[in-house]
Structure 1
């Protein structure tokens, strides 16, 4: 009830003053004045915000392209289907995006391990109860025996 009375009387009271108090409405203030700056300072501030945003966007695009490069590398390594999204992210970055150095080192180590595992010695090391050192010693001893027996052979 009090609201209704205040609304009805307040509106009539404002009409009675007849514009004697020249108050500037809030909507007419400029944004610069609202933030306590001059127009030039406000424009410089806006320009700085735009530049910072562009820099953040460029860094973000570069990070996205780096991640896409990593995903592309693993897709190639494990023979998975390629992704169009990754290729577009790499193209949008523009610069040649390379793998981070730590990741490149890890990948090189993995490749070396895989090559070792694919070799004959790597396959033998997977078999349980096989002593590689003993096998190497036996192989070397056999080769030496063959050399000595070849030297003793009168036919040669």
Structure 2
């Protein structure tokens, strides 16, 4: 109710009094040493601590953000997904040594070793799912069919 009344009557009242409320309005939204009940030195120290805490929080946030980006990059490498330029930029901006979970690092190493084995010729031969019995049976059937066809067409056989 007071807000509504001030909106309606406030401007007219300021004009009549000469606008003295402007000074009070400028300091009303800001913290001052008097509003906190501190001396000026204490208030400056308090403001300095607030700024240092904010910087510390921002730094920790940036580090966590870069660690998450590093984790996403490693998972993309592991599962051969397209890379993200945003994650790469985040990692480069941090510049710190980023922690990678040990389990993920082990998984990536195991996958790399597995890929090296599978890339070799013997690895490819081992991974081929070939049924040699079926191939042998098919070859024998083909040979017997060729023999029968040759016997039918050739008089000397």
Scaled by the length of structure 1, what TM-score is found?
Answer: 0.50
Q: Which runs of 5+ in 1 are unaligned?
A: 16-24, 124-156
Q: Which runs of 5+ in 2 are unaligned?
A: 18-22, 128-157
Distance change >3 Å, CA 109–CA 76, structure 1 → 2: closer
Aligned equivalents of 1:72, 1:52: Cα separation in 2: 30
Residue 73 of structure 1: aligned partner: 74
Q: How far apart are 1:52 and its partner, in Å?
A: 0.7
Answer yes or no: is the 8 Å Cα contact 2:78–2:111 preserved in 1: no
Q: How far apart are 1:109 and its partner, in Å?
A: 8.0
Residue 86 of structure 2: aligned partner: 85
Distance change >3 Å, CA 57–CA 67, structure 1 → 2: same
Aligned equivalents of 2:108, 2:82: Cα separation in 1: 22
Deviations 1:18-64, CA, capped at 9 Å, x for gaps: xxxxxxx8566871100111111111111111111111111111111
Aligned pairs (5 A) from 1:51-130: 51-105=52-106, 107=107, 111=111
Q: CA RMSD in A?
A: 3.7
Scaled by the length of structure 2, what TM-score is found?
Answer: 0.50
Distance change >3 Å, CA 109–CA 94, structure 1 → 2: closer
Q: Which runs of 4+ in 1 moved over 4 A?
A: 25-30, 112-115
* Secondary structure of 1:42's aligned partner: helix
Answer yes or no: is the 8 Å Cα contact 2:76–2:83 preserved in 1: yes
Aligned equivalents of 1:113, 1:94: Cα separation in 2: 29
How many residue pairs get aligned? The number is 102
